[in-house]
Amino acid sequence: MCFTSQFWQLTVAGLAIGSLYALIALGYTLVYGVLQLINFAHSEVFMAGGFGGLFLVRELVGDTAPGGAAAVLITTAGILGGALAGAGTAFVLERTAYRPLRRRGAPRLAYLISAIGASLFLYNLAGKEFGRLAIPMPDIYTSGTVFHIFGARVTTNQLVIAGAALVMLIALDRLVAKTRLGQGIRAVAQDAETASLMGVDINKVITLTFIIGGLLGGAAGFLYGLVFNVQYTMGFIPGVKAFTAAVLGGIGNVRGAVLGGLVLGLVENYGVACASSAYRDIIAFMILVLVLLVRPSGILGERLGRSA
């Protein structure tokens, strides 16, 4: 095959970028699970996390590059800063763009228009406040080779991204499966009306679902900034790819979003090796179209219920 000689290197890079797609995709799939709608402003939640982590790290790093334990602590702080910025943005979105419509029993089209309007507002606000040029992330550590897997180089950036994503994905899976909040989310996703009759606070569950999705998306924004630059346009392409990953895995299915993100990252990298790097984004969009045509329910299938 066209990528045989680079297979393991492409696999390592694909899993790293795929784990980012999975983190962002979880925001889409969680909100869809409880509201049966796509939060198209989630890409700006991701962007807000990138800026939040960036500004915090710039304050901590200063003019000198840290090393050793300091670099680990600063990276952790950047992830937390990005996560909090994303969660705050998602919370405001839910309160201003979605809850008023839900209280009025607005049609689904109104939610879509509101999400697009909120996305454009945040996009242009970030461009005005933070500038139109890309801002590089401070050097927290050198992205050198840590070790090799079957001859493939694993860099520090890839290890940090994959490791942090893995911890957050496992934590979310346990939260949804084992906690009282997770039971509430699953109940609302399955049948919101019955969950309400059983005493579940629908508004609280929806708000916390937005916050959890924002935490993951914001953390992904900072991790994305470690490899790429942070800028006001950074949310669109990763956001669309994460939506593709959510659809690919089965939107509304948490584990499906993770699987879809990893599969998309791998297929994208393999496709680039066979064609050209110019086709990277085209490959993702082609996958979205093919999934919608051939298996719109995704790999693991979507779970539908009566929405809130």
- Condensed to tens digits (0 to 9), the pLDDT of residues 40-50 reads 899 999 999 99
pLDDT band at residue 80 under the 50/70/90 scheme? very high
pLDDT for residue 199 is more than 80: yes
By the 10 Å C-beta count (0-12 exposed, 13-18 middle, 19+ buried), 160 is classed as buried
Please say if the pLDDT value at position 278 is more than 80.
no
148: CB partners within 8 A, 6+ apart: 154
Q: Which one is predicted more confidently, 113 or 199?
A: 113
> Tens of pLDDT along 98-120?
999 988 888 888 988 999 999 99
- Residue 196: CB atoms within 10 A of its CB come to 16
pLDDT for 66 beyond 90: no
CB 85 within 8 A of CB 253: no
User: Taking residues 173-194, what's their average pLDDT?
Assistant: 86
Residue 276 has pLDDT above 80, yes or no: no
d(C-alpha 191, C-alpha 107), whole Å: 19
Q: What is the pLDDT of residue 228?
A: 86
- Name the pLDDT band for 4 (thresholds 50, 70, 90): low
Q: Does residue 60 register a pLDDT over 50? A: yes
Q: What is the mean pLDDT of the chain?
A: 86
| pTM for this predicted structure | 0.89
pLDDT for the residue 219: 95
pLDDT of residue 304: 47
